[in-house]
């Protein structure tokens, strides 16, 4: 999260109308806007590798993967994750979704603390979410938070020879392909 705009607190409906007309993307957290900055080339390469692999894997299964331009709504807050997957049959609102099974964030220096903390907790409050994934962009390191019967478990993948395993969508991919 970067810096709050100098606008008054907004309701979700006002935010959605504003965001449709805005030239740049904003997240809405506790009624306040936060401008989204651009990403590095490495960030985009990793996100594209994951998007491509997930799209090919999910297409025959009826689930869809979305990139960084579609929002997730959590209560009255709205976030732009780097990638997310949903498996619902109904399309829902065309500008945001509320029921991801998987959310992936490629960490940036400016946002990593937020992605690992408050944003993670917000996403984990969604009943549909089964896995939350944090991908470090400058070295092979992926942390997966998986919902279990007793809470959330953490799995670390930190070698190019390792395979990322996402049980929520029965997906495996070598880190060497993600970081290619």
CATH of the domain at 48: 3.90.1570.10
Rounded CA-CA distance 133/141 in Å is 11
Domain that holds residue 122: 40-178
Residue 130 belongs to a domain: yes
Residue 31 belongs to a domain: no
Residue 13 belongs to a domain: no
Tell me whether strands 102-107 and 131-136 are parallel, antiparallel or unpaired. parallel
Residue 114, Cα to own-chain centre: how many angstroms? 12
Rounded CA-CA distance 96/168 in Å is 21
Residue 32 belongs to a domain: no
Rounded CA-CA distance 87/91 in Å is 10
Domains in the chain, number: 1
Residue 145 belongs to a domain: yes
Q: What pLDDT sits at residue 7?
A: 59
Q: Contact, 71 vs 96, CB < 8 A?
A: yes
Q: Which two tokens stand for residue 154?
A: 């953490």
Residue 9 belongs to a domain: no
Q: Contact, 166 vs 155, CB < 8 A?
A: no
Rounded CA-CA distance 37/1 in Å is 9
What count of other Cβ atoms lies within 10 Å of the Cβ of residue 82? 23
Rounded CA-CA distance 29/38 in Å is 19
Q: Contact, 65 vs 84, CB < 8 A?
A: yes
Q: What pLDDT sits at residue 1?
A: 45
Q: What pLDDT sits at residue 2?
A: 44
Low-confidence spans in the chain with pLDDT less than 70? 1-7
3-state class (DSSP) for residue 18:
helix
Residue 28 belongs to a domain: no
Find the farthest-apart pair of alpha carbons in the chain and give their distance in angstroms, rounded: 49
Residue 162 belongs to a domain: yes
Q: Which two tokens stand for residue 38?
A: 């651009």
């Amino acid at each position: 999260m970067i810096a709050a705009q100098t606008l008054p607190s907004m309701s979700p409906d006002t935010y959605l109308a504003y965001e449709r007309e805005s030239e740049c993307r904003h997240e809405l957290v506790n009624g306040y806007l936060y401008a989204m900055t651009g990403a590095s080339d490495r960030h985009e390469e990793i996100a594209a590798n994951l998007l491509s692999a997930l799209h090919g894997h999910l297409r025959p299964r009826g689930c869809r993967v979305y990139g960084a331009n579609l929002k997730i709504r959590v209560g009255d807050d709205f976030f732009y994750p780097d990638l997310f997957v949903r498996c619902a049959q109904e399309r829902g609102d065309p500008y945001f979704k509320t029921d991801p099974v998987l959310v992936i964030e490629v960490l940036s220096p400016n946002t990593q603390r937020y992605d690992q903390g408050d944003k993670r907790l917000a996403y984990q409050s969604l009943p549909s979410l089964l896995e939350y994934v944090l991908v470090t962009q400058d070295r092979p390191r992926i942390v997966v938070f998986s919902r279990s019967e007793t809470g959330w478990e953490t799995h670390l993948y930190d070698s190019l020879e390792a395979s990322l395993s996402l049980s929520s969508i029965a997906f495996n991919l070598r880190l060497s392909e993600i970081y290619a």
